[in-house]
């Protein structure tokens, strides 16, 4: 047994890499299956992950045998493997060869980084040897090129400790045959020097190294080998069961179960951006504040990252900036949704101050708070368009906001003329996107990547909208009705720490975003929403940590995610219903008022009976204006029907879709 003094007297220290310097969270071969998961999604291969893996395995074996016939060891070069796979996966004509090579390489790197960590005992040894100015060389049997290992070590912060890498794939020579040691000794002759090989494999790292004159140090990694066997058994368990285990541990009372739908959205968003080579993405305030946080957590350990920007916008702020001169402006963006409004509502939506509105109302001799049945066709609206004060203020504010908003967009340093603008928001109609598109003179591509989409708004080839989780604009997506049952809950849970963007103010060469702060909204966020978001973030991270090292068909989890969401909206807990009643929301465009989800506390028996009659006679009319069917029943005094309603909806919209997908 070599003592410490003898050990430190060696001239060159050779280290194995895997399970010696770095270890994995999964068994080594499973990393390739994770790669297959990435490749299936990135290259849109219409085959199972297992089949993609089997093809790769066959091609690796074929290349090893061919190289052995040509006098080399059973090893292969990664570039040769990719050439084989490009054809075998049927990608010719579907994806550029160079793009495939880059995607494949980055996916290999990403999969390794997701599962790797540094062995702490070896790290301390490397530090000590480097302190003594010892030469350290890595020698490993691995199918990736040397530059790949250098990138891994750079990521781990240990590249500076290594003087050189010898990798079997570079020479088609391996440690297990001994030929790689022979290659090493050609460059570093052993005569008169003391070499030591340090590794965990008794044959490749110890016995073969000794045959070539190295002294050796064996590292006992039996516990790591046992861990790999445990993980191999665990990976036989269906990933859906893993998700359900995590779901069963969440606290449903405060809507932690929405974490799973949000995870589905963020995962789909990441791959959409990656597959479309998007480099910059704008998360729209206010729902985008928490979505951006989740997205950054999702891509935290990934090689390919998208630049994220928090874009302070609102329907109101972008509306004013998008407006045309008065003679050509139709105010379509407000009138397509709001016509039963007052002069106050209309001018506030245009960014006018209350005193300015009062002055204009006096000149028009009207009550500025009185709502018109059809404002765009009213006498009030006609007279307003002829009012000099309004015309002057409108043009001044419109020009100011247009210039300031352009400066604000440019402040992000993104070349939108070349890249376009990719927007992320909770969704539904994409009104803000339409405003931005109009502001950009409909000449720059704007793409909205929404959680859900229920209307297209302005249709244009450069103004595209995608509902990543659910949509009904091009036929209804799978499980559309499940996610559409209570869209409000997404908006509530994705509340922000600040008020709505109100306008853009120029101070010198900088643009500041003025926000409309509502103390009641701030209080709601501090006391209720922020704590819920903290729990959701933790669950999201737990999901990510579990799933990023699991092999699964990403698109194959649609039913699992929908089942969890269906449970939330069709079978809510009593606490979830009560929590929903505590929520309120301030509308700051079109109308300016607080919306509460709770209407009345007690109803007479007669009123409840009448509500039941309406439900039986015309259930469509009964639920027409409800945020959530469950709440509509409770408000009508029909709580006893909530479970019946849930079972009916579950069978009609979840089970039916499930059967259709079989």
Instruction: Please write the tens of the pLDDT for every residue from 197-232.
Output: 999 999 999 999 999 999 999 999 999 999 999 988
- Mean pLDDT for 338-349 is 90
The pLDDT, as a whole number, for residue 545 is 93
Can you read off the two tokens belonging to residue 59? 């091609």
Indicate the pLDDT class of residue 600, thresholds 50, 70 and 90.
low
**pLDDT score of 284 more than 60:** yes
Host H or E run for residue 410: helix 388-410
Sorted by sequence, the CB contacts under 8 Å of residue 487 that are 6+ apart come out as: 428, 452, 454
Can you read off the two tokens belonging to residue 179? 């030929």
- Mean pLDDT for 140-146 is 96
Q: Whole-angstrom Cα distance, residue 25 to residue 30?
A: 10
**pLDDT score of 1 more than 70:** no
For 484-521, b/e burial (b = at least 16 CB within 10 A) is bbbbebbebbbbbebbbbbbbeeeeeebebebbebeeb
E strand spans, 195-340:
195-199, 215-218, 280-284, 307-311
Whether omega for the bond prior to residue 160 falls within 30 degrees of 0, making it cis, is no
Indicate the pLDDT class of residue 459, thresholds 50, 70 and 90.
confident
The pLDDT, as a whole number, for residue 426 is 95
Can you read off the two tokens belonging to residue 229? 């066997």
Indicate the pLDDT class of residue 456, thresholds 50, 70 and 90.
confident
Least trusted range by pLDDT, from 128-137, 332-341, 356-365: 332-341
By residue count, the chain amounts to 662
Task: Using the Cα atoms of residue 434, residue 439, residue 445 and residue 446 in order, give the sign of their dihedral.
Answer: negative
Indicate the pLDDT class of residue 29, thresholds 50, 70 and 90.
very high
Report residue 506: phi and psi, to 5°. Answer: -95, 125
Q: Tokens 């963020």: give the residue.
A: 266
The pLDDT, as a whole number, for residue 151 is 96
DSSP SS3 for 593: strand
- Mean pLDDT for 147-164 is 96
Can you read off the two tokens belonging to residue 547? 């799933």
Q: Kindly report, residue by residue over 36-71, the tens digit of the pLDDT.
A: 999 999 999 999 999 999 999 999 999 999 999 999
DSSP SS3 for 451: strand
Cα 654–254–524 angle (5° rounding)?
125
Radius of gyration over alpha carbons of the chain, in Å? Answer: 31
- Mean pLDDT for 533-549 is 95
Question: Could you tell me how many helices (H) and strands (E) the chain has, helices first?
Answer: 33, 16
Residues 54 and 259 sit within 8 Å (Cβ to Cβ): no
Host H or E run for residue 566: helix 558-570
The pLDDT, as a whole number, for residue 368 is 85
Residues 545 and 114 sit within 8 Å (Cβ to Cβ): no
DSSP 325: P
Task: Using the Cα atoms of residue 505, residue 507, residue 508 and residue 511 in order, give the sign of their dihedral.
Answer: negative
Q: Whole-angstrom Cα distance, residue 422 to residue 409?
A: 13
Highest average pLDDT, of 303-312, 316-325, 454-463, comes from 303-312
Cα–Cα nearest to 264, from 528, 563, 53: 563
What is the per-residue DSSP string for 112-170?
HHHHEEE-HHHHHHHHHHHHTT-EEEEEE--SS-HHHHHHHHHHHT-GGG-SEEEEHHH
Cα–Cα nearest to 338, from 353, 329, 348, 326: 348
The pLDDT, as a whole number, for residue 137 is 97
Mean pLDDT estimate for the chain: 91
To the nearest whole percent, how much of the chain has pLDDT over 70? 97
Q: Whole-angstrom Cα distance, residue 489 to residue 492?
A: 5
Sorted by sequence, the CB contacts under 8 Å of residue 647 that are 6+ apart come out as: 570
The pLDDT, as a whole number, for residue 2 is 59
Q: Whole-angstrom Cα distance, residue 486 to residue 181?
A: 65
The pLDDT, as a whole number, for residue 599 is 56
Q: Whole-angstrom Cα distance, residue 14 to residue 424?
A: 50
- Mean pLDDT for 294-302 is 95
The pLDDT, as a whole number, for residue 586 is 64
Indicate the pLDDT class of residue 451, thresholds 50, 70 and 90.
very high
Indicate the pLDDT class of residue 602, thresholds 50, 70 and 90.
confident
> What does DSSP say about strands 421-428 and 307-311: parallel, antiparallel, or unpaired?
unpaired
Indicate the pLDDT class of residue 332, thresholds 50, 70 and 90.
confident
The pTM of the full predicted model, rounded to 2 decimals, is 0.91
Indicate the pLDDT class of residue 74, thresholds 50, 70 and 90.
very high
**pLDDT score of 596 more than 80:** no
To the nearest whole percent, how much of the chain has pLDDT over 90? 71
For 395-412, b/e burial (b = at least 16 CB within 10 A) is eebbebbbebbeebbeee
Residues 468 and 291 sit within 8 Å (Cβ to Cβ): no
The pLDDT, as a whole number, for residue 503 is 92
Q: Tokens 């649609």: give the residue.
A: 558
Largest CA distance in the chain: 105
Indicate the pLDDT class of residue 273, thresholds 50, 70 and 90.
very high
- Mean pLDDT for 70-91 is 96
The pLDDT, as a whole number, for residue 248 is 93
What is the per-residue DSSP string for 335-385?
HTT--S-BHHHHHHHTT--HHHHHHHHHHHTS-TTPBPTTGGGSHHHHHHH
Q: Whole-angstrom Cα distance, residue 644 to residue 640?
A: 8
DSSP 252: G
Q: Alpha carbon of 206 to those of 20, 104, 214, 254: distances in Å?
A: 13, 33, 9, 57
Can you read off the two tokens belonging to residue 356? 């300015």
């Amino acid at each position: 047994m070599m003592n410490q003094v003898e050990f430190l007297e060696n001239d060159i220290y050779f280290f194995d890499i895997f399970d010696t310097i770095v270890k994995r969270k999964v068994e080594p071969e499973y990393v390739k299956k994770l790669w297959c998961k990435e490749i299936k999604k990135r290259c849109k291969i219409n085959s199972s992950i297992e089949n993609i893996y089997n093809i790769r395995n066959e091609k690796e074996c074929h290349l090893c045998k061919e190289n052995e016939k040509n006098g080399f060891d059973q090893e292969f070069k990664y570039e040769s493997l990719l050439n084989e796979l490009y054809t075998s996966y049927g990608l010719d004509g579907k994806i550029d060869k160079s793009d495939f090579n880059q995607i494949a390489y980055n996916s290999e790197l990403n999969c390794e980084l997701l599962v790797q960590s540094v062995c702490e005992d070896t790290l301390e040894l490397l530090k000590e040897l480097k302190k003594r100015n010892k030469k350290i060389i890595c020698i490993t049997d691995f199918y990736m090129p040397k530059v790949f290992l250098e990138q891994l070590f750079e990521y781990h912060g240990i590249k500076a400790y290594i003087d050189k890498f010898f990798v079997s794939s570079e020479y088609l020579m391996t440690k297990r045959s001994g030929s790689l040691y022979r290659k090493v000794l050609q460059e570093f002759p052993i005569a008169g020097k003391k070499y030591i090989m340090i590794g965990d494999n008794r044959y490749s790292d110890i016995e073969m190294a000794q045959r070539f004159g190295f002294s050796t140090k064996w590292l006992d990694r039996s516990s790591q080998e046992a861990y790999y066997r445990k993980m191999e058994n665990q990976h036989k368990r269906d990933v859906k069961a893993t998700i359900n285990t995590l779901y069963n541990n969440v606290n449903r009372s405060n809507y932690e179960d929405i974490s799973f739908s949000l995870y589905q959205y963020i995962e789909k968003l990441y791959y959409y951006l990656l597959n479309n080579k998007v480099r910059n993405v704008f998360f729209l305030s206010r729902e985008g504040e928490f979505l951006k946080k989740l997205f950054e957590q999702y891509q935290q350990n990934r090689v390919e990252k998208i630049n994220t920007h928090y874009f302070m916008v609102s329907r109101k702020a972008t509306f004013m900036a998008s407006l045309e001169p008065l003679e050509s402006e139709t105010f379509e963006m407000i009138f397509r949704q709001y016509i039963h409004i007052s002069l106050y509502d209309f001018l506030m939506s245009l960014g006018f101050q209350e005193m300015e509105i009062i002055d204009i109302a006096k000149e028009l001799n009207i009550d500025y708070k009185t709502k018109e049945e059809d404002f765009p066709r009213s006498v009030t609206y006609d007279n307003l368009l002829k009012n000099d004060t309004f015309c002057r203020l409108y043009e001044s504010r419109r020009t100011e906001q247009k210039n300031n908003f352009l400066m604000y967009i440019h402040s992000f340093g993104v070349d939108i003329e070349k890249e376009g603008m990719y927007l992320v928001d909770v969704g539904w109609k994409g009104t803000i996107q339409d405003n931005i598109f109009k502001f950009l003179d409909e000449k720059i591509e704007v793409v909205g990547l929404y959680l859900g989409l229920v209307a297209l708004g302005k249709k244009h080839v450069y103004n595209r909208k995608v509902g990543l989780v659910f949509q009904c604009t091009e036929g209804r997506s799978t499980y559309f009705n499940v996610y559409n049952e209570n869209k409000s809950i997404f908006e509530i849970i994705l509340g922000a720490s600040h008020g709505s963007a109100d306008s853009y103010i120029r101070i010198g060469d900088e643009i500041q975003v003025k926000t409309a702060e509502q103390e009641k909204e701030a209080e709601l966020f501090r006391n209720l929403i922020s704590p819920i978001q903290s729990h959701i973030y933790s669950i999201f991270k737990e999901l990510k940590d579990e799933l990023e090292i699991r092999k699964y068909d990403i698109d194959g989890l649609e039913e699992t995610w929908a089942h969890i969401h269906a449970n939330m909206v069709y079978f809510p807990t009593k606490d979830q219903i009560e929590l929903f009643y505590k929520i309120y929301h301030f509308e700051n465009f079109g109308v300016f008022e607080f919306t509460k989800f709770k209407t009345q506390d007690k109803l007479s028996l007669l009123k409840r009976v009448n509500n039941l009659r309406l439900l039986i006679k015309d259930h469509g009319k009964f639920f027409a204006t409800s945020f959530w069917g469950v709440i509509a029943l409770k408000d009508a005094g029909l709580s006893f029907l909530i479970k019946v309603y849930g079972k009916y909806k579950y069978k009609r919209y979840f089970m039916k879709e499930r059967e259709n997908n079989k």
